[in-house]
Amino acid sequence: MKGQVFKIHSDFHYVKSADSADVFECKVREVLKKQKEKVLVGDFVQCADINNDRKTAVIEKILPRKNFLTRPSVANVEQAIIISSIKEPDLNFEQLNRYISFAKYYKIKTKLCFNKNDLSEDDSVIEKIFQIYEPLGFEIVFTSALEHFGIEDFVELLGSKITVICGNSGVGKSSLINSICPDLKIKTKEVSEKTSRGVHTTRHCEIIEIKHGRKPIKIIDTPGFSNLKFDFLMPNDVDEMFDEIKKYKSGCKFKDCLHIQEEGCNVLENIDEIDLSRYQSYLSFVQEAQEFKEKTKMQGTKKETSQKQTLNKNVAKISTKNREVSRSTFRQNIYKDLDV
Give the tens place of pLDDT for each residue, 224-262: 566 788 989 999 999 999 999 999 999 999 999 999 999
Tens of pLDDT, residues 264-281 = 999 999 999 999 999 999
Predicted pLDDT at 70: 85
Average pLDDT over residues 301-329: 57
- Name the band, by pLDDT with cuts 50, 70 and 90, for residue 184: confident
Domains of the chain: 2-64 (2.40.50.140), 74-221 (3.40.50.300), 235-299 (1.10.40.50), 314-338 (no CATH)
Q: What is the C-alpha to C-alpha distance for residues 100 and 310, in angstroms, rounded to an integer?
A: 39
* pLDDT at residue 62 greater than cutoff 50: yes
DSSP string, 18-76: SSSS-EEEEEE-HHHHHTT----BT-EEEEE-TTSSSSEEEEEEEPPPS-EETTTTEES
* Residue 96 CB partners (closer than 8 Å, separation 6+): 82, 84, 112
Percent of the chain with pLDDT over 90: 49
For the chain, percent of residues with pLDDT exceeding 70: 81
Average confidence score pLDDT of the chain: 84
How many whole angstroms separate alpha carbon 106 and alpha carbon 73? 12
Which of 46-50, 103-107, 113-117 has the least mean pLDDT?
46-50
